[in-house]
A and B are shown apart, each in its own frame.
Chain A
Amino acid sequence: MSKRSEVSRITGAMAGIMVAVILITGSSFSFPTLERVWAQEEGTPLKVALLTDALFSDGGWGATAYNASQALKEKYGLELTTVENVAIPDIEPTLRDFADQGNNLIIAHGFEWGDPALRVGADYPDTKFVVFTGLTNGSNVASVFPMQQEGSYVLGALAAMMSKTGTIGFVGGQAYPNIINIFEGYKQGAKSINPDIKVLGQYIDTFTDPARGKEAGVSLINNGADFLFHVADLSGQGVIQAAKEKGIYALGVVADQHNLAPDTVLTSFVLDMEKAFDGAIKMVQNGNFSGQLYKPGLETAKGASGDGIVFIAPFHNLDSEVPSDVKQRLNQIVQDIISGKIVVPERTEASS
């Protein structure tokens, strides 16, 4: 065998590997870490599993869910298992595994878990499934689809009131229906204040690449945006970084992201996951689980008496930067949404 042909074979194989790898690196790969915590209480504690494709170290979507589940473990003495970073193709087998292990309740954290939960749920009638931000439901599968469009509507209105350029931006991780819904709410809120406002949008195809998120943010700023709102988890940290470096405001998501950049993050819309998971656990404990599609909406603040789980975070140190008439109008909008005077329609398909 000649040396040349061997070399070209190696090069060929390498090129092949490269191509394959370039194709797969678009998606993150899985590193499941298992954590088992046995409840100390007597009797049989409720067996609950929290499963997600996100990371618990993401400082947002996954971290909030993890902390919520830990708080509830304390509160109810749950026998809790948490699994993160489940690859999308592994969602169904993972659900099946945890149903097999005899969990009473499986909290599937993410829109993509909806259909698999329905399929697995049919085979495990004794296990209850709750899909957070899902849109599917069956006899033992419930979904919580928070009316996040109400939260983003308020943020859109705020951005439109405070924008100097008349252009505001949005960065989404993926064009999932729940994220499109958030973007649509943002657009509607902004247009309710200023019908001529330009709302620019970006989908960047990743929740875990802050570098890409940052360049997406910079690109929106170059196009005139002076407010950046993100729903992109870790990638969104890059979006906030872009806003910070260019001296404009950013809007956070899921958790109060104020501390990430105190002079940049004007406010965030927050999801009270603990309240949502708590509701699910209570249903299972009381034996009145009902496989519905729950749509909790906006609240005035954390711990408010209503059943909403979406609220707008305080302005913190930027409070003095927001004119009082803006605050007044904003409060009015929140009140009107809660009372039903303003209805923000759910839109899971993009409008132009």
Chain B
Amino acid sequence: MIDLIIGIVASGIRMSTPSLFAALGENIAERSGVLNLGVEGMMLIGAFAGFIGTFVTGNVIIGILFAVSGPMVMAGLMAFLSVSLRTNQLVAGLAIWLLGVGLAALLYRLTFGVVTVAPTVPTIPPLDIPFLSSIPVLGPIIFHHDAMIYLAFLLIPLTHIFLFKTNIGLKIRTVGENPKQADTLGVNVNRIRYISVIIGGAFAGLGGSYIALVTTGSFSEGIAAGQGWIALAAVIFGRWRPFWIVLGALVYGMVNATALGLQSMGTTIPFQFLLMLPYLLPIAILAAMYKRSVAPAALATPYKRGER
């Protein structure tokens, strides 16, 4: 029984990793005042770029570099639309989403055509951390994963330090709270926003490539399966704080894994109910958290110098 529970928790961590990556990055963008709804599209581009990079070069590191750079370009476009052109961020974000969905599908089909056997690449295998992985219970849950999960673990405190302990983090937060004041203090608001949004793109790319390179070893249309939207929800859930965002992503992954685990055990609970849980629970929690959420004051507001 304990083995089954360990299995479920480890599975939950794996299932929350893609949205965790994306949420940590989206948080940086939102902290600077840009709401990028295009996360899902950027993840799909990341998944495709990571897959094609690995497929062509046979080197997973190059694949991940591809996965990071593709969405960075898309994030650059998002920044151009929302920061330079000051368009409505909701609309621009949705456009980025649709662009990513369509572009990834198009490129995949142009490359491989209609085949009955999907092309695959070897997946990144789990990597036991010496000593730590032999700790009972905790070992198999936390220290028996692939390198990308450890990277995700590492990025949690790093993004926290980046946002709250560094000079540029302070600038990002100021720009997101009060761009006018930041401007008077000599901070280049647009540049900071560009940087933040593009960092968000890189993170989304990591999340997307996790699915293609660790989970499945293949790409398929719509493979991100809504993880980008879960990431956006996790940011709100986490009230724009990295450590809380982790919790948001984990809730989704854990509930999902539990639903699958309970079905495998053959419970008498109708599977339809279990399948609903991963969507129902985050909604419920989101509704409960709503009153306490404090968004960056300038979120989704374009900044124009000299305007009140």
Contacts and interface: CB of A to CB of B under 8 A. Distances in A.
Q: Specify the main secondary structure of chain A where it touches its partner.
A: helix
A323 to B, nearest CB: 27
Nearest to A245: B123
Interface string A233-273: 01001100100010000000001110111000000000000
A203 interface: yes
Interface in A197-244: 200-206, 208-212, 214-216, 218-220, 222-223, 234, 237-238, 241
Contact of B263 (A3, A201, A261): A201
A190 B93 CA distance: 50
A201 B275 CA distance: 14
Contacts of B297: 3, 7
Interface string A1-45: 001000100111011011101110110100100000000000000
A73 to B, nearest CB: 13
A92 interface: no
B218 A55 contact: no
Given A22-B230, A26-B279, A57-B221, A12 B290 contact: yes
A274 interface: no
17 contacts: A14-B300, A17-B37, A19-B286, A25-B225, A63-B116, A210-B216, A210-B218, A210-B223, A214-B215, A215-B11, A215-B256, A219-B7, A222-B4, A223-B265, A234-B220, A245-B123, A261-B120
Interface in B1-56: 3-4, 7-8, 11, 14-15, 18, 35, 37, 40
A15 B299 CA distance: 14
A113 interface: no
B269 to A, nearest CB: 13
B292 to A, nearest CB: 11
Given A202-B260, A237-B218, 13 more contacts: A12-B290, A18-B236, A21-B226, A22-B230, A22-B279, A56-B114, A210-B218, A215-B260, A219-B7, A219-B8, A219-B261, A237-B216, A257-B117
B261 A63 contact: no
Q: Specify the main secondary structure of chain B where it touches its partner.
A: helix
Contacts of A215: 11, 14-15, 256-257, 260
A115 interface: no
A7 B290 CA distance: 12
A215 B101 CA distance: 23
A222 B4 CA distance: 6
Contacts of B236: 11, 14-15, 18
Contact of B35 (A14, A26, A219, A241): A14
B6 to A, nearest CB: 9
Contacts of A203: 263, 271, 275
A277 interface: no
A31 B97 CA distance: 13
Interface in B254-282: 256-257, 260-261, 263-266, 271-272, 275, 279, 282
Contacts of B256: 212, 215
B308 to A, nearest CB: 12
B222 A205 contact: no
A253 to B, nearest CB: 12
A66 interface: yes
Interface stretch (B67-75, B104-112, B152-160): B104-112
A223 B264 contact: yes
Contacts of B260: 202, 204, 212, 215-216, 219
A64 interface: yes
A121 interface: no
B290 A212 contact: no
A67 B279 contact: no
B223 A67 contact: no
B95 interface: no
B226 A25 contact: yes
Given A21-B229, A215-B256, A208 B15 contact: no
